[in-house]
Structure 1
Amino acid sequence: MYKGATFKTKKITICSLVGICLTTFLLSGCSGNQSNKTSIATPSPKADSIQSTATPQAAKVINKTDEQPSTVYYELFVRSFYDSDGDGIGDLKGITQKLDYLNDGNPETTTDLGIGGIWLMPINPSPSYHGYDVTDYRSINPDYGTIEDMQELITEAHKRGIKIIMDLVVNHTSKEHPWFVDSAKNSDSKYRDWYVWAEDQGRPANGASAAGGGNAWHSLLGSHYLGGFWEGMPDLNFDNAEVRTEMKDIGKFWLEQGVDGFRLDAAKHIYEDLLSDKTEATTVKNVSWWQEFRKAIHEVNTEAYIVGEVWENSAVTVGAYLDQAFDSSFNFGLAETLVNSVKTEKDSGTAFTLERTYKLYSKISDNQFTDATFLTNHDQNRVMSQLDNNPNHAKMAAALLLTLPGNPFIYYGEEIGMLGVKPDEGLREPMRWSAADQGEGQTTWEAGRNNAGAINVDVESQLNDSGSMLERYRELIALRNEIPALRDGGIRDYASGNPGVMAYERLTTQDQVLVVHNLTGEEQAIVLQPNVEGFSYSKILKTIAVKSILNSDQLTLPPYSTAIVE
């Protein structure tokens, strides 16, 4: 969990963690056939809690657990969200106008989504619609508004208890950035060494990109520059101290404008440019830079939240960045597992794996990390499309995401079941506010082909529908905010004994609840056993979807439902 702690010197090498990581994932997994027969649920043994000699109905004991105080974040593509001025392009003023949809600041109301943070995809000037190739790091894309609009958004968000983090893209700039233009034209330019030119460094202009596999080198004016993602995004040279200083100053600038932190794009590619760079030594250099960056921005705000994009399924690689660099790193492996679990309607051993992975992360971070969980993001086919437009599966995916530890990130439109498949524009289509394609605030920059003609896939249609996807998300977020163990707790595996039922305990130092999901379309029943502390779960605290029944120690769950038991 993130506590704004001071820096400590700690020597934990990546190699020393490999043994822990391999043990973690070799032990994980689940098999068996789905059944609606009563199964015996047994808690997984763990020595991380204070053991009790209590009887099965004893009071809860104090747990030794690494808590993860959290909030729910909402990933938002400004261009697609809400248009305040009628030009068809979403803007910052539009987001401000729709803040009450996200969180109205009143915990007593139930008409808002209830999120606590917003991740703004790139807002800097850029020649591309997506903004990941920046031309000016200290200003706002004119399509989106002004610095003053940004400050107003931040102020209004903070009034409602919403934090704002922004995408910070420092691995590369746009080919049209003045730095690069000058660097390319003049070999004596002060910016020449801000980029990587093969001829200047005596390097061969060949080598496959670590970001995409194609040739990472591009020809321009008789020289070749490095651009791992594509030729329009030349990589910056972080071996140059001036580049590092500039990027730290840019981070400080935005914190001074009031933002609460950053989502760091392409975080592992600062030095991992070519496939041949995928080494432990490169990861160490990457981590070292991000530690330097974090230390600098803490000079402005010690509570600034940093979440990195390290697109890896390896806990070792991801974990390295949690050593005084990032507060969180997106859990791509978990996202795949959750989607697969609901699609196949089978428990994947998620809690078993997470419990052990979090041990690793806690050790690396001195108990300072918070996981960043999600289902899909702007680079992946939307979850509803991956689930073949099955609303029951999509609702169960939401239930898993919003009852697990960490900061859950919801991709805009996920809460109303929007569809989206590649190419990338199809993943970032306009948010649907009403069934009318030209309704108030509706963005029109992209045709919205994936969602054209979709029935009830819009906010207006779902607002007052108790069975809607939107209502399910609102209910789950409210539940998470209400129950401390769901919001801030760690996790402990609790084997359900039924391959169609996923169960796990959520624990803070003072509270614990058992979360049980029926992933299947059939009624399932399990017998609850006392946990490792001798405590028996004996009362249903909350149910999602349809009411579950707990008769003595037998818990019966209707199809596609969730029970929170205390």
Structure 2
Amino acid sequence: MTQFVDFFFAPYASAQHRRMKVAIEDGLAHGSQITPRDPLPGQAVTISIFSNAHKAIERVALSYTTDGTEPLGEYGIATQGTVLFAELLPQVSVGVDASTEIRTWQVTIPAQEDGTLVRYRIDGWSVQEAGQHWYADRVDPVTISQKKGRSFAYHVDRWEAPAWWQDAVVYQIFVDRFSSAHNEPALHSEETHGITEFFGGTLNGILEKLDYIQSLGINCIWLSPIFESPSHHGYNPSDYHHVARRYGSDEALVQLIEAAHRRGIRVLLDFVANHTSDEHFAFVDARENPDSPYANWYDFKEIEAPQTYRSYAQVSSMPELSTEEPAVREYLYGAARYWLEHYGADGLRLDYVPGPSHAFWTSFQQAVKSAHPQALTIGEVTSPMPEILDYAGRMDGFMDFPLAAIMRQTFARRSKSLEELLQFLDQHVSNIPESMCFAAVLDNHDMHRFLWFAEGNIERLKLATAFQMTLEGTPIVYYGTEVGLSQTDDAIKENAYCRGPMPWGEQQNQALLTYYRQLIALRRQHAVLRTGKRMNLSVESTGNVEQIGAYIRYINDTYMLVILNNNEQPVQVRIKLHNVLQKIGGTGNYQTGSLRSVFSSSKLSDLSLEDGCVEVTVPALSAEIYLSEKRLDI
């Protein structure tokens, strides 16, 4: 098997890890560590603070407000807000780099009413050494540092993801690469255009393909950024309020969303808060005029040569916004509401969440949800799971990249076993708060296409898709994956290679497309696959049991049995269901009964439950799915 680097998932220090490391080195860190992560009305909140044991920090205080104003004060004296003193816990721990000793402090903010925005600041000082004083999270290696320390926040509410999200099957469309309309120039090909050039996809092109999207079974589309931008990807906006001219017009977006809604298809838009393009009016004015009203929107000072301003990943065409500035926040919050109100979008996918602070996203969620409680906010957080969960309450959910990584290892490369994947999934899902939703993805616009990573093996893709469509979470299909779209070169050279033009007509793999349609229809038809609980099953087999997986999804009086064979040979599988069904169903004996085949890679017939067991032969790299005919005796 060819050696590939799945670069998107390569080990690296996350933004939060880097922030905590330098904050501890500086003296005092918080990192928005609160318990509970998503406080409800009536719940007190414990704030955890961490100090460098080698610094002379003897007192730590927190100043907070509950009326939306900025808390002010230091040395335990508040000029605006209320002061609480933190308690030093007895244990000493080791820092993120395993070389620094850390002391932990805690303080509890009293319970608040529904709708309260709690804002707070933290500082520490030495009693014996006058003048020794620290602000929490004063330094920041990721974005613009706050010399007076960071302002933190959480919101007390009962907001949650809209109910429609759990029933969604999402189709991610990279607008420039999907389709043009019949009366527009045809979509370009990689034979005539470089992979980072514009290919000519438009909103009217998507509008004309709604029949195709609907026939796939999709009921939600996610569009890559559609605002004005000099880049093919659009992730550096020049204008936050208008559609890019190359995609059409503002009216074209309204027409697309209205047409989608008539078909029962919701629309998510991509929103970039961390940075703009260098053509954005505020950046142009701030760079040319030191007295510009937008001078504080960007950082032209605390940067290292040869850069002359702070930018995302040191890419000069992506100057970074100072999202702690009140004017910047109001501008971005207003823009987000505008796409929902003026254009009728149903939600926002939030780009590069770790860039702005947790407090920024807290207020962003408040701005969106207070006006549009049924809008979805779902974030791109490329971090370890504990750091992802720290955004609970600050957005509805997240793209589940930890799950995506192990699914790709299991099915595309077979470097992980199916047994390991299922064990991971049990622990993984149990850690996700009920208030937080997640999306299951196999590939997207920033990583190798699944088929490229699987070296073109369609059967591996089909098995991975069967797994994806029978899991908890909301599945997202990346445009073209359903018809066999791969890429022409390794995306580690240029990740735009995973954004090739959508194939149409005879270029599409019709058998694979039919497979997708059947699985999506199955998920849409059976609520048990969307909202049911999952329980892994033990299997006996003639093959390698580590590459065989079985589980049931169950809800009320229905269960669905899913059997996956990740071996490259057929296997005979025997599964004892009796005890499991008793555990989830109550008093039935479950020794006999039948299971109806609802999805089969080899047209297998229904199964009989005999002596509480089922036996079946599963073809290589295949999935078999059965629906219970016997009602559970609950």
Name the counterpart of 1:170.
Answer: 273
What is the rounded CA distance, in whole Å, between the counterparts of 1:122 and 1:148 in structure 2?
A: 16
State the 1:344 CA deviation.
Answer: 4.9
Deviation at 1:331, TM superposition (A): 1.0
How big is the shift at 1:509? 4.7
CA apart distance, 1:287:
2.6
1:86 aligns with 2:184: yes
Residue type of the partner of 1:295? Q
- Structure 2 partner of 1:324: 393
Distance, in Å, in 1 between the alignment partners of 2:238 and 2:582 is 57
Offset, 1:415: 0.3
Match for residue 45 of structure 1?
none
Question: For residues 603 and 173 of structure 2, what CA distance do their matches in structure 1 show?
Answer: 33
Which residue among 510, 513, 517 is the counterpart of 1:470?
A: 513
Say whether the 8 Å CA contact 2:393–2:436 is kept in structure 1.
no
- Residue 411 (structure 1) aligns with: 478
The equivalent residue for 2:539 is 496
Structure 2 equivalent of residue 274 of structure 1? none
Query: How many pairs are equivalent?
Result: 438
Q: Counterpart of 2:45?
A: 11
- Give the structure 2 partner of residue 351 of structure 1: 422
- Corresponding position of 1:524: 571
Of 90-99 and 553-562, deviating more is 553-562
Question: How far is the alpha carbon of 1:10 from its aligned partner?
Answer: 6.4
Secondary structure of 1:137's counterpart equals strand
Structure 2: distance between partners of 1:132 and 1:394: 28
Equivalent-residue separation in structure 2 for 1:191 and 1:147 (angstroms): 26
TM (norm. structure 1) is 0.73
After TM superposition, give the deviation of residue 516 of structure 1 in Å.
1.3
**2:355 matches 1:292:** no
Matched, 1:250 2:299: no
Partner residue in 2 for 1:77: 174
TM-superposed deviation, 1:333: 1.6
Q: Secondary structure at the match of 1:528?
A: strand
CA offset digits 1:314-363 (Å, max 9, x no partner): 22111111x2122221111211211221235531433332232222212x
What is the distance in 1 between the residues matched to 2:436 and 2:556?
A: 17
Segments of structure 1 that go 5 or more residues without pairing to the other structure are: 17-65, 104-111, 207-216, 271-285, 436-456, 463-467
Relative distance call for 1:302 and 1:514 in structure 2 (3 A) is same
Q: How many Å separate the matches in 2 of 1:555 and 1:546? A: 12
SS at match of 1:409: strand
Distance 2:474 2:461 in 1: 19
Of all paired residues, the percent bearing the same amino acid is 30
Q: 1:99 aligns with which of 193, 205, 210?
A: 210
Q: Distance in 2 between matches of 1:135 and 1:120?
A: 17
- Please point out which of 219, 243, 249 is paired with 2:307: 219
**Any conservation in 1 of the 2:324–2:360 contact (CA below 8 Å)?**
no
Higher strand share: 2
Distance change in 2, residues 1:182/1:377 (3 Å): same
CA contact (8 A) 1:546 1:558 kept: yes
Contact 1:310 1:318 in 2 (8 A): yes
Residue 120 (structure 2) pairs with residue 120 (structure 1) = no
CA gap of 1:67–1:510, structure 2 versus 1, over 3 A, is: farther
Cα distance, 1:15–1:386 mapped onto 2, change above 3 Å: farther
Q: Please name the residue that 2:616 is paired with.
A: 555
Show the counterpart of 1:546: 602
RMSD across aligned positions (CA)? 2.5
Q: 1:173/1:542 Cα in 2 relative to 1: closer, same or farther (>3 Å)?
A: same
Answer whether contact 2:445 2:496 (CA < 8 A) is retained: no
Aligned positions of 1:121-160 closer than 5 A: 121-160=224-263
Deviations 1:405-442 (A, max 9, x none): 1111111000011112422332111111134xxxxxxx
Q: CA deviation at 1:493?
A: 2.6
Q: Is the 8 A contact 1:352 1:492 kept in 2?
A: no
- Structure 1 residue 506, shift from structure 2 partner: 1.8
Letter in 1 for 2:470: T
Give CA-to-partner distance per residue, 1:480-528, whole Å, 9 cap, x none. Answer: 1111111222333323352121222223355332211112232222222
Q: Which residue of 1 aligns with 2:552?
A: 505
CA distance 1:121–1:560, change in 2 (3 Å): same
Q: State the alpha-carbon separation in 2 of the partners of residues 484 and 372 from structure 1.
A: 17
Give the counterpart of 1:376 among 420, 425, 443: 443
Contact kept, 8 Å, 1:118 with 1:163, in 2: the verdict is: yes
TM-score, length-scaled by structure 2: 0.65
Q: Relative to 1, partners in 2 of residues 1:13 and 1:358: Cα closer, same or farther, differing over 3 Å? A: farther
Given that 1:485 and 1:513 are in contact with CA atoms closer than 8 Å, whether structure 2 keeps it comes out as yes
Question: Which piece of structure 1 moves more, 509-518 or 423-432?
Answer: 509-518
Q: What letter corresponds to residue 428 of structure 2 in structure 1?
A: T
Match of 2:352 in 1: 266
CA distance in 1, matches of 2:581, 2:49: 32
Unpaired stretches in structure 2, ≥5 consecutive residues: 1-37, 51-162, 188-199, 629-634
Structure with higher RCO (Cα < 8 A, 6+ apart): 1
